[in-house]
Structure 1
Amino acid sequence: MPPHTRSNSRLISLTCAAVATILLGGNLTSLTGQDLQNGDFVVGPEYEIDPDLTDRGNPKGKSFEFKIRLADSKIFRGDDVTLDPRKKVRTYRRIFVYVPAAYRDGTPAPFLVIHDGPNRMDLVRHALDNLTISKNPDRQLPPFIVIAVENGGDDSYGSQRGLEYDTMSDRLARFIDQEVLPAVVNNMEIKKAFPHIALTDDPWGRGVMGCSSGGAAALTMGWFRPDLFRRLITYSGTFVDQQDSDAPEEADYPLGAWEYHSGMKLIENSEKKPLRIFTHVAENDLRNQDRAETHHNWVMANRRTAAALKAKGYDYRFIFSRASKHCERKVFEATLADTLVWMWQDYQPE
């Protein structure tokens, strides 16, 4: 059934929406009754939760939670020289894991990393419970494992979270791959339930999702390490200049994540990478009236990022949510099931 007939909040065609054309810029792709198309779409201003993001009584998977100590990390120890001593750094970070009922122990599982864990993990769990057993071939999910990782603490310039999420480097991708994933498969409680648990090495089986700086981090992980992560979901992405001015990466990326779409125009001027990318911005997102020279207008940044992805020929989807704010839950409730289906549509297990 076409999305616009299921709910007023579902993805709808923009071809006749002149006001949306002004907001988004350029030509817009219409939705032709499928959940699987690339393109630019709008949702709102009214929102309803997608039934597939609710408990529909289907078999449940298993949830786990454990901690890892920052001081034990070789990549994010909590003592970086760029950190502001006035900003709190966590001693431990929590890791939340959900193994869906459809997963079979010993199978190399695809997985989705969620930044700012356990952010929106409840919605992803429901999507897995409902859509891994879907009979509709156009609305199915593979039984991927969810790994939600807590940030290192605080926010913005000089913070551990900012270091992890807003820095233009491969550090976060290496941290997840080299430290978090081994901690998951070697956790005693998880191994007790799944003695042969395994995570895929196939980068097309490895997704990342985040909102705000966590969204920027999702793109950055794939951008710098497409050999590790290729399915990227960003809501209200912080594609602005929020990288620490004293970070060594400033020498190569002086405007931080703003460089993806402006300044050096990384997306346009780089060779196309093997990535599948979802982006979103809210109508009333952060600093939406700021001029371009501030390098801090979230709406502008995400519009430009989507346009660059489209021009470069990426598999991409961009959603503009009307009557909504930064990382607002109602947007996730209305769109996340469609987003996950679109993101994983062509996945082939090993």
Structure 2
Amino acid sequence: MTAPVPYRPLPLDLADVRYAHGPDSERRPDVPAGKTTEVTLTTSAIYPGTSRKVWVHVPAGCDASVPAALLVVNDGWWYLDPAGEVRGGVVLDNLVHRGEIPCTIGVFVDPGVVVGSPRPKNRNVEYDAFDDRYVTFLLDEVVPLVTAPYAVTDDPERWVVCGGSSGGNAAFTAAWLRPDRFRRVVAYLSSFAQMPGGNPYPDLVARADRKPLRVFLQAAHRDLGWDAPTRNWFAENLRVAAALAEAGYDLRLVVGDGGHSPNHGGVLLPDALRWALGGVAAAAAPITPPRTGTPSAG
């Protein structure tokens, strides 16, 4: 079946390209808003001394008989903010309401802050590292905030992990190391170029047995270092995409204009989720009252 794409002229000046959001990224009067619960995590066994906020977003109207799918998003509030570029809760409400994706609970996780430290931001420590600490943190300390009160599927084909920039590194690494839990990845402008020790993935993807992942990557022509011989965000994203393509992965690569901005990735989120969860029956899970009470608000 042919998918016609309307003609749009390419921008010639790439200094400040901005993409317009589509209707799935706008609050609609006929779509009921989901419920968002804010939780503050003040302790962590994986990242001692850190504190962070987590938002759990449950779309309205999930009324079918199967457990909900799960979307875990790094840089939580940046991606949840209804006035921001990504608008994750709005997108989930719209897509679930129309049955275009299964009922999907969103978990928006802020990076940690080291309490009392002169350098409090723990984002790069958590997101850029090539190890299993972050995915273990998600599975052991964050996901239970959802699985305790709500029915969530155990099917890794319906667990999506999403992030941008260093958060894209964390999303890809989480799925790469734990495909038994996360098999869907949405990664925007990933900062593979700044991972300690260099970008490991082109070589790893080529050498390792193919993992059961479906990967959505977005890259930008004018990302950081786009014309540099080293630490080139654009080139490193293309290298990862090429390795995945050559290894036969289920891959969708979208290359746009603009720089290191969440704008294009945010505009793409509705299609990225439709694609990531493609082939999964869009039957919504029943959202019933929590079995043991909702997570405590922070």
Aligned to 1:209: 162
1:287 to 225, 240, 253: 225
Q: Distance in 2 between matches of 1:130 and 1:204?
A: 21
* Alpha-carbon RMSD: 2.7
Question: Structure 1 residues 328, 180: closer, same or farther in 2, change over 3 A?
Answer: closer
Aligned to 1:127: 91
The amino acid of 2:97's aligned partner reads: I
Q: Distance in 2 between matches of 1:284 and 1:218?
A: 22
Moved segments of 4+, more than 3 Å: 104-107
The amino acid of 1:298's aligned partner reads: W
The farther-off stretch of 157-166 and 206-215 is 157-166
Q: Distance in 2 between matches of 1:45 and 1:159?
A: 29
Cα pair 1:215 1:233 within 8 Å, conserved: yes
Question: Structure 1 residues 46, 162: closer, same or farther in 2, change over 3 A?
Answer: closer
SS, match of residue 132 in structure 1:
helix
Aligned to 1:25: none
Cα pair 2:218 2:265 within 8 Å, conserved: no
Instruction: Specify which structure has the bigger relative contact order, considering alpha-carbon pairs within 8 angstroms and separated by 6 or more residues.
Output: 2
Q: Distance in 1 between matches of 2:235 and 2:129?
A: 20
- Shift of residue 48, structure 1, vs aligned partner: 2.0
Cα pair 2:39 2:53 within 8 Å, conserved: yes
Question: Structure 1 residues 339, 146: closer, same or farther in 2, change over 3 A?
Answer: same
Q: Distance in 2 between matches of 1:240 and 1:142?
A: 34
Aligned to 1:328: 262
Q: Distance in 1 between matches of 2:3 and 2:91?
A: 19
Cα pair 1:45 1:321 within 8 Å, conserved: no
- Shift of residue 160, structure 1, vs aligned partner: 2.0
2:240 to 298, 305, 309: 305
Aligned to 2:201: 260
1:161 to 117, 123, 126: 123
Pairing 1:236-247 to 2, within 5 Å after superposition: 236-243=189-196
Aligned to 2:44: 73
Aligned to 1:174: 136
- Shift of residue 46, structure 1, vs aligned partner: 6.3
Q: Normalising by structure 1, report the TM-score.
A: 0.70
Question: Structure 1 residues 105, 183: closer, same or farther in 2, change over 3 A?
Answer: farther
Cα pair 1:8 1:47 within 8 Å, conserved: no
Structure 1: runs of 5 or more not aligned: 13-18, 20-43, 79-90, 192-196, 244-253
Q: Distance in 1 between matches of 2:145 and 2:28?
A: 32
Cα pair 1:48 1:333 within 8 Å, conserved: no
Pairing 1:41-52 to 2, within 5 Å after superposition: 47-52=19-24
Cα pair 1:211 1:327 within 8 Å, conserved: no
Q: Does residue 183 of structure 1 match 2:145?
A: yes
Question: Structure 1 residues 99, 163: closer, same or farther in 2, change over 3 A?
Answer: same
Q: Distance in 1 between matches of 2:270 and 2:177?
A: 27
The amino acid of 1:286's aligned partner reads: L
- Shift of residue 111, structure 1, vs aligned partner: 0.9
Q: Normalising by structure 2, report the TM-score.
A: 0.82
Pairing 1:22-41 to 2, within 5 Å after superposition: none
The amino acid of 2:228's aligned partner reads: D
SS, match of residue 56 in structure 2:
strand
- Shift of residue 62, structure 1, vs aligned partner: 0.7
Aligned to 1:37: none
User: Per-residue CA shift, 1:139-191, capped at 9, x if unaligned?
Assistant: x111100000010149xx996212211111121111111111113444xxxx5
Question: Structure 1 residues 120, 205: closer, same or farther in 2, change over 3 A?
Answer: same
Q: Distance in 1 between matches of 2:8 and 2:57?
A: 31
User: Per-residue CA shift, 1:190-235, capped at 9, x if unaligned?
Assistant: x5xxxxx122221111111000000011000000110111110000
The farther-off stretch of 336-345 and 208-217 is 336-345
SS, match of residue 218 in structure 2:
strand
The amino acid of 1:338's aligned partner reads: D
Q: How many residues align?
A: 268
The farther-off stretch of 158-167 and 207-216 is 158-167
User: Per-residue CA shift, 1:6-57, capped at 9, x if unaligned?
Assistant: x849xx9xxxxxx9xxxxxxxxxxxxxxxxxxxxxxxx96632111111122
Aligned to 2:216: 278
Cα pair 2:51 2:113 within 8 Å, conserved: no
Q: Give the percent of matched residue pairs that are identical in Structure 1 and Structure 2.
A: 35
Aligned to 2:296: none
SS, match of residue 284 in structure 1:
coil
Aligned to 2:36: 63
Cα pair 1:235 1:327 within 8 Å, conserved: no
User: Per-residue CA shift, 1:264-287, capped at 9, x if unaligned?
Assistant: x11111110000101111111111
